[in-house]
Structure 1
């Protein structure tokens, strides 16, 4: 109806023109009065139709009620009937040529109706049908049979064309209306999106200048849309960097995509606004007009600065150690991988150092993890202070750290840095009113010599670190190919050691300790031995450190205590049994309970049990070892300080702990036998010190009569060595007392020795 309303003037003029032409053609075939009435009726009907459309309240509306449509159809039908009646009425008085001319006018009118009334197919159909039948009736009345038939066919064609055109017009209008509705909906959504969302729209022309700048986009830069219209997009995004031309890579990538007219999505670019660095995510696609010409880009952008900051924080958490702030194992491995690539490419060498803190476990076990964490943080700070542009450090986990040296000329670079690290980390730490002393062991490997991959190079450095730890710590060792064989031996030995107890592969030998004055046996030292079916006899120097590292020493030590106490119950009451105790055992909270259990199950009096500890337990002591030793003394157990003078000697511990015996290491005994002044002086000093503190002294390693005589001369109270007897099975030790009175076994020992 809206389309018909827009053509109302054309329709009115066509009706008046048709009426005038028709009246002129039939003027001689009808009475003037009749013709005047017909013309007046036609004009009146056309005027009424025009007037009703002009004054219709819904004129021009897309959707209208049915009443105007029915009224329009009724007037169109009435006009067609009026005209058809005139054609039929005036037919007898028409000349053949006039009739043909009149039919041409009718045909022209019908064609015009098809076009002008396409929006009203029902009205058009009724008008064409009536008009066409009137024209055919006129020709039949004039006996023009052929012309009448052709007129009827023409009418049918017009009806079919009107229906098809009306259907197409309605479909077109429906589609157009739908598109308009969609455009309005999209515009509404875009306005709501701009007002409520955090994103904004942007558009540039073919010259890459901003057009139709949205208020939100302009507000981001603190400007009005008019100020940004026509400004190059890159200039707006670059900010102060526009003048220098030093653009970040992401902006250059954006320029490249726009230059190539490529669509892009979620492109992350850094933006500078008022000195602040923001991160935007841009998406856009190229636009073209109806002729296919490029007209610019249209897209959407969003501020993802907060998300980027969160992502950076997550990335840092994934690549940095939270406790120390140093790069973690992941980042250190990435850097090591790049260093290996550079070494392969440029034929250079890099180095990787693995650092393990000595005596750190004692801090955690005694003072708690909070102090341990504080200590690790201080270690990280010291380690970081030693790094330069050619090196980086990180935490591998626990108390292990790693250092990467990107390029080295020779081993001197590694040795110099390792020496600095050991010295720096060995200095005292002040944490929560505690003065803590730890150290560092370092193993290093050189790429690509010791490994051409991250795994191989790390393993080589780890093997070198094991060697440093085996040597007592506080030293640096570089990787050697033979370490792989040692590592494999250690691995096999560890697997076998884990099953040694249940397989019954351990046994004890007992070495006598005699009184220096008369050679009477005062006790035995229990010595652990291990014989494996595959490995054969294994030296304690090899398997004891492995047992300590793998925490197997607790179970093994408990077995030694029980077995030794049971064996001692077979000996005379005056004979003691001495058992070596590892520092790891003293740090175990269940150790005192294990001693009590061994004594109670065997029935051995505590006074007959002597526990031997080395000076190394005190360097790791933060109160735990001392407290454990005090509990053992309270039970009545005796304590012996083994290998005195060879380790971390501190006379303060002799004052704090009530040792019953000080054992002089065999190295001093052998030195004194050679009349070495230093060894003689040390033995005399130890004997004097022990006498002053009310302690006894035992000299180890006496193998000859001359050594025994020298030991007695120096004043040692007890002697232990091959001269009086080698380590023997328990049954042999018991046999010494089976058939002899006390003191008679001395001669047997000398003969056996």
Structure 2
């Protein structure tokens, strides 16, 4: 019932395809439907004009006209029912509009019966019944709306007949409504069945047309037929062309012998040909059977479909079918399959194939209670080769790396490329843990040998991380993750190392992940704060500057050491927004609360210097705070020259042009080169605390280094700052060695901004006392 009336879509059919057309017809016949209603209205008005109050008649006419207008609006909404969504809400609204017309007709009949028109009620009912009949049998009506209209008119008619005391009319109205409703339902059933049949025939017609069109247009399709002796008959020119011969030459020739040639004994051919021969022998129909054939034109792949032929008496007459030459598709599929599983650059198995091999190794280990292993390999210093010599040289190097790895792995080991400069080795059956150590050692040694590419001798190294299954992971994902964690450990140790997975690595990685998550919202939560450590003049011990040091007090992790979160911020590039915040806060503090002769020192990460907008960040911080550029000293380490020295140098030169000074921090502890001092106009060299502590212990090397740095700085007109001075003796020592500035716990630990202001307040009090 719901499907016939349009409340639900018929099973397996689209609602719009079945009922949408029906509702769309309403919109197309809006004028006709409205005209019928208005003609009925005029007919009733003319009939009752002489016997019913004109005001009542006019009010009823206006109400009916309004209801017709509402119905017209809903009919027009249904115009797009075949192409747009026309759901339950739209059906309900249309039914309500139809019911409104019926209610007006019913109310009119009741009003007429009560106001002196009872003797002409038959005429009004006849007109209303005519409208009911029209809406119940017309295909330009919707079932639900028709039933709503008929029921509304019928109820009004019953009440009107009752008011008039015409019981015969009551009976007629009752039966008319019942028959009208049943007529609507039956008409709807017939309509739905017709639409479903029409749709099915249309779909079958389209399918047959499409198949015939594809067959006619397909250049590789042809028909074949064999008799009871399996000899070709009725060979078409297209089939003969596929066989590489003419139709007369192959007519009557045994089909299997013709396509197998001398290759019947070849296992590769026999497997597909045997399947085809078995189908023919058992007289079974088959479809899309892939057969490898040998023809005078060469080896080809055919896709055959066929069915046995029987006469009217059921006697077997042979086989008939369709064939296609799918050689190109087959070769393309094989190429795609190869590309899906092998790396195009190195021709090694790719990540997908490595994952499959590792999964099989884990399943084998679980079944036989043995062990397997996975080694993840990453090249050291490969990025420098790519950046300096180009990707073509890098690609050639990866090819040589692949060849060396293939020469290392054994019979039960599979090596492949994971992507970039990462490779992997799967050991299917691990009999001894020393096997991993020996293989990792061989990999590191082989890949560390020099490479000769384009008349250049290049060197890279390799780091290896390994995981043993199923101990370190029972799934492929776990093994890859844990081997990767071990590889990170090997890279952190300087590269050229092999590290095995340990459970603590996962704990560290999880801690790092949680810290990163919290660090991303630390600035928004106001968890960051700046502390300031004083730098004093070596001779007067007056504060000349403060170094801004960031601190993080996390709401989830508590106080987090800068040694832990600063490297994390650099790895995730969160150091850029954090560094911008530090620059703004420190400049604001110095400009608003410090004496005009005191500088602020701000540490800048290499990641910040590589940002194209770094100089603009400095300009904004200076302009917003009003700080004199001469009071800003940017501190960098020698590591800035290891990434993109030209970009870092340009950014710092822009800052120097603004009037800022630049200090070289931790000089002598990293990749020291006097060339750095020549390329950039540094104003200060900071002597690392390790040399100061060594000199305090009378280390000859440390003393010599400090003297050399001081002498070099003086010759280049630079100042020197000794870090890590913790007592008076160390202060005297570095002063005697010639350092111009001192920084360390002896003169003050890192302090809050308020405490730093107190330092200046006390200095002001001391100056007043001296002047007094």
Q: Classify the TM-score, shorter chain.
A: 0.5 to 0.7
**Structure 2 residue aligned with 1:577:** 600
**Which of 284, 288, 302 matches 1:280?**
302
**Structure 1 residue aligned with 2:441:** 416
CA contact (8 A) 2:444 2:496 kept: no
Shift in Å, 1:733: 1.6
1:519 match: secondary structure: coil
**Structure 1 residue aligned with 2:54:** none
**Structure 1 residue aligned with 2:550:** 528
The separation in 1 between residues aligned to 2:755 and 2:218, in whole angstroms, is 96
**Structure 1 residue aligned with 2:613:** 590
2:269 match: secondary structure: coil
**Structure 1 residue aligned with 2:658:** 635
CA contact (8 A) 1:194 1:216 kept: no
The separation in 2 between residues aligned to 1:636 and 1:363, in whole angstroms, is 36
Which stretch shows the higher mean deviation, 202-211 or 594-603?
202-211
Equivalent residues in 2 for 1:426-437, closer than 5 Å? none
**Structure 1 residue aligned with 2:648:** 625
**Structure 1 residue aligned with 2:206:** none
The separation in 2 between residues aligned to 1:628 and 1:393, in whole angstroms, is 41
CA contact (8 A) 1:362 1:622 kept: no
**Structure 2 residue aligned with 1:381:** 399
1:405 match: secondary structure: strand
Equivalent residues in 2 for 1:54-73, closer than 5 Å? none
Structure 2-normalised TM-score?
0.62
The separation in 2 between residues aligned to 1:395 and 1:552, in whole angstroms, is 27
CA contact (8 A) 2:263 2:270 kept: no
**Structure 1 residue aligned with 2:539:** 517
Q: 1:239 to 1:691 in 2, by over 3 A?
A: farther
Shift in Å, 1:612: 1.1
Please give the per-residue CA displacement for 1:350-387, whole angstroms capped at 9, x wherever unaligned.
Answer: 314164877959988xx9xxx97657645643442333
CA contact (8 A) 2:244 2:297 kept: no
Q: How many residues align?
A: 546
Please give the per-residue CA displacement for 1:321-375, whole angstroms capped at 9, x wherever unaligned.
Answer: 67887665444433432333344345241314164877959988xx9xxx97657
The separation in 1 between residues aligned to 2:579 and 2:534, in whole angstroms, is 20
Q: 1:430 to 1:525 in 2, by over 3 A?
A: farther
The separation in 2 between residues aligned to 1:667 and 1:430, in whole angstroms, is 44
The separation in 2 between residues aligned to 1:293 and 1:567, in whole angstroms, is 104
Equivalent residues in 2 for 1:639-718, closer than 5 Å? 639-718=662-741
Shift in Å, 1:730: 1.5
**Structure 2 residue aligned with 1:72:** none
Which stretch shows the higher mean deviation, 270-279 or 728-737?
270-279
1:447 has 2:469 as partner = yes
Shift in Å, 1:283: 1.4
CA contact (8 A) 1:521 1:743 kept: no
Gaps of 5+ in 2: 1-210
**Structure 1 residue aligned with 2:521:** 499
1:264 has 2:286 as partner = yes
The separation in 2 between residues aligned to 1:248 and 1:257, in whole angstroms, is 14
1:659 match: secondary structure: coil
**Which of 497, 508, 518 matches 1:486?**
508
**Which of 560, 572, 580 matches 1:538?**
560
The separation in 2 between residues aligned to 1:697 and 1:256, in whole angstroms, is 93
Which stretch shows the higher mean deviation, 671-680 or 583-592?
671-680
Which stretch shows the higher mean deviation, 355-364 or 290-299?
355-364
The separation in 1 between residues aligned to 2:291 and 2:704, in whole angstroms, is 78
The separation in 2 between residues aligned to 1:469 and 1:244, in whole angstroms, is 52
CA contact (8 A) 1:201 1:301 kept: yes
1:728 match: secondary structure: coil
**Structure 2 residue aligned with 1:73:** none
Shift in Å, 1:716: 2.6
Q: 1:439 to 1:498 in 2, by over 3 A?
A: farther
The separation in 2 between residues aligned to 1:693 and 1:650, in whole angstroms, is 15
**Structure 2 residue aligned with 1:338:** 360
Shift in Å, 1:507: 0.7
Shift in Å, 1:618: 0.9
Q: 1:413 to 1:264 in 2, by over 3 A?
A: farther
Q: 1:194 to 1:718 in 2, by over 3 A?
A: closer
Equivalent residues in 2 for 1:114-125, closer than 5 Å? none
CA contact (8 A) 1:443 1:465 kept: yes
Shift in Å, 1:596: 0.7
Gaps of 5+ in 1: 1-188, 746-753
**Structure 2 residue aligned with 1:607:** 630
The separation in 2 between residues aligned to 1:445 and 1:201, in whole angstroms, is 58
1:401 has 2:422 as partner = yes
Please give the per-residue CA displacement for 1:694-740, whole angstroms capped at 9, x wherever unaligned.
Answer: 32222222223443343334333322222222111122122112132
The separation in 2 between residues aligned to 1:428 and 1:720, in whole angstroms, is 49
Shift in Å, 1:245: 4.9
Q: 1:289 to 1:581 in 2, by over 3 A?
A: same
CA contact (8 A) 2:291 2:302 kept: yes
Shift in Å, 1:535: 0.8
Please give the per-residue CA displacement for 1:32-86, whole angstroms capped at 9, x wherever unaligned.
Answer: xxxxxxxxxxxxxxxxxxxxxxxxxxxxxxxxxxxxxxxxxxxxxxxxxxxxxxx
The separation in 2 between residues aligned to 1:403 and 1:239, in whole angstroms, is 45
1:702 match: secondary structure: coil
Shift in Å, 1:246: 4.9
**Which of 737, 743, 752 matches 2:760?**
737
Shift in Å, 1:633: 1.4
CA RMSD of aligned residues (A): 4.0
1:457 has 2:479 as partner = yes
